[in-house]
Structure 1
């Protein structure tokens, strides 16, 4: 799913602390397949299309805090995938990590724009990810790239035989010229709110030479439902959670065993101090 960034530039290490590399260790190099965004210490937001032909996501890993995937460095944190939950209708998915990450200067949470925040009211916007470096001075390496993009009407991004749906948004490189601004599928569209200067995740990269995104206002409430009840069945617009590496349940302790432990504690207390 990784695609070339067009006129992107190398990002400064730590500039994208919420960005995640979702990796299949069976692939060459780092195994990078898609981008993602850390939205809570144990959950990563990405695109559902990244897992269309995946049978066992429990073998996959998520890398955070890295800039160069060929040399992640000591700041990077690696986690296995525990759960995969995909939206029924939109190109959006959530990965639960096998254990939470620790926030640092290089690993931080991204903020998903609220349901009422449309991308058109946020600017400027940026994308980031590990697109192909073929034909560049960085060839053979997987270095984080970034680019500023300009939002367009959906009909201006139709390409490759696939039509942009009305519920999607698209963009082109802000420098104009080539429409190519491709980043990694699953990576974030990050936009700044001019009123507060706060950066928001305004969408998830989906597909296309025009950079097509699933806007956050379409799925922000869905995310809240998943984080509140990650193990429950699917509701409207949801695909039921699929445990990819379930943790074995702990068997309840029987009342007889509890009584036995209580007697043993009293016996040990008596042996240590027979006088009471």
Structure 2
């Protein structure tokens, strides 16, 4: 709800006169900062607060359910309407294929515990999410943006908390851990801004390909990274949490018609 109010307020400014373009960019920057800031909040939570495993799994599953809805309604469906079903589905599959290949390299070749591999593991599923967010901000209304931004925010928060907690337990200083997550937040913010600025004025087909490619990568990350982790931490309630996330995303997107 705070994300919806924030987006709606800036969007209303963007509709007024000559300041519309600047206000639209302001909306992009504010939403990106809030979503990427969840990484820093989550990292601080994991390092300095308490994060029971059950709650971690519940929140991750809830975020995954919200992302399922947002990916279909805010990214895939609009792409099918503006391009074609075959192009959209091919782009979804391509995104999943690229994510799977990179995920394999992180896990099997680079090692997720190493420096570069660890940073890659942190940002691998976040880059497509934030790229999709940046593209979704192009010409979107407040409810649509709020649904996707809220889903990504919920996804980033427990993911960062769990990751930072594990890194702190592996004899890394808290300062270095926070610096690493700050770097990841900067990279993800850049992905969202690039997605928004570079593709402003792009053709409907190019936007459709980008949206569906990002959606496919995120779906693959849900299947291989998010839901298995949620089930491992909270296998009794992970299914209910997933459904709850989907319902909340639907309710959020429905606000304002």
TM-score, with length taken from structure 1: 0.24
- Bigger-Rg structure (1/2): 1
TM-score, with length taken from structure 2: 0.25
| Higher strand residue share | 1
| Higher helix residue share | 2
Larger RCO (alpha carbons 8 Å, 6+ apart) = 2
